[in-house]
């Protein structure tokens, strides 16, 4: 890390203010995390080859009693960001392994993880679509869409009536035939709760649909 400071004295108090600094190696994701740790007081520019240039929006907002304090402030926040990034990557790997082992199709995007699984239960075709959105501090939003495909129109009418009775507040739309849709939304889930909630919900839905 290279650091450039501006030193000045005001009211007989010496202050060291951060002019800019370069961190290498650092990923764009970690750069965004560092900006958040500095409460949006800095801006970053990617120089390429995992090298990131940072500078404050207002120099006077990032002042310290001495050079060591300025360096420690950056280093401590960098360590926090790297730790958060490692936790996030570990979480992605754990979720990925879970879905693959349980024969889900999975897509890992920049902001979310998506998974899909289909089953046939009592001659009804069932599709479960899951989206996991990472919020912050290892908290996530889990969105689950369940599509039920009856085999006949009459069955769909009967299934619609029972579905509304069972899960009225989760029922979002229906074309009567060929499918019904249920939506579940869970907010503020911790890492370990994502897998547990997904497994329990899928098993529960499959069991309940077989009773309809």
Cβ atoms of 208 and 174 within 8 Å: the answer is: no
Q: What are residue 41's phi and psi, to 5 degrees?
A: -85, -10
pLDDT for res 86:
56
Cβ atoms of 177 and 156 within 8 Å: the answer is: yes
Task: State both tokens at 167.
Answer: 């899960």
Task: For residue 28, give the H/E element and its range.
Answer: helix 28-37
Q: How far apart are CA 132 and CA 161, in angstroms?
A: 30
pLDDT for res 159:
75
pLDDT for res 166:
66
pLDDT for res 105:
92
Q: Tell me how many degrees the CA angle 63-66-70 measures, rounded to the nearest 5.
A: 55
Give the count of beta carbons closer than 10 Å to the beta carbon of residue 81: 22
Q: How far apart are CA 55 and CA 43, in angstroms?
A: 6
Total count of residues recorded for the chain: 212
In 3D space, the residue among 74, 76, 68, 65 whose CA is nearest the CA of residue 7 turns out to be 65
Cβ atoms of 141 and 187 within 8 Å: the answer is: yes
Domain range list for the chain: 2-90, 102-209
Please indicate, yes or no, whether the overall pTM of this predicted structure exceeds 0.75. Answer: no
Cα–Cα distances in Å, from 204 out to 22, 167, 191, 198, 199? 51, 12, 21, 10, 8
3-state secondary structure of 108: strand
In 3D space, the residue among 157, 184, 159, 180 whose CA is nearest the CA of residue 170 turns out to be 184
Whole-number average pLDDT of the chain: 80
Tens-binned pLDDT, residue by residue, of the chain (212 aa): 688 888 877 677 788 888 999 988 887 777 888 888 888 889 998 888 888 999 999 888 888 888 888 888 888 888 777 666 656 667 788 788 888 888 899 998 877 889 999 888 877 888 889 998 875 556 788 888 888 887 777 777 777 777 776 666 666 665 656 677 888 888 888 776 777 788 777 887 788 777 76
């Amino acid at each position: 890390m290279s650091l450039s400071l501006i030193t000045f004295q005001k009211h007989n108090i010496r202050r060291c203010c951060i002019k800019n600094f370069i961190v290498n190696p650092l990923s764009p994701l970690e750069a965004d995390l560092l900006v958040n740790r500095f409460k949006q007081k800095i801006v970053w520019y990617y120089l390429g080859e995992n090298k990131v240039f940072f500078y404050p929006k207002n120099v006077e907002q990032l002042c310290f009693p001495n050079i060591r304090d300025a360096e420690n402030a950056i280093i401590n926040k960098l360590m926090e960001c790297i730790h958060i990034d490692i936790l996030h990557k570990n979480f992605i790997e754990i979720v990925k392994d879970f879905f693959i082992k349980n024969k889900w199709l999975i897509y890992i995007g920049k902001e979310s993880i998506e998974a899909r699984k289909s089953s046939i239960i009592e001659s009804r075709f069932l599709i479960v679509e899951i989206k996991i959105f990472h919020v912050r501090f290892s908290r996530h939003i889990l969105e689950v869409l369940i599509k039920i495909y009856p085999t006949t129109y009459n069955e769909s009418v009967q299934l619609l009536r029972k579905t509304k009775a069972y899960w009225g507040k989760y029922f979002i739309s229906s074309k009567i035939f060929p499918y019904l849709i249920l939506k579940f939304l869970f907010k503020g889930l911790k890492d370990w709760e994502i897998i547990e909630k997904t497994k329990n919900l899928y098993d529960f839905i499959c069991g309940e649909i077989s009773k309809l």
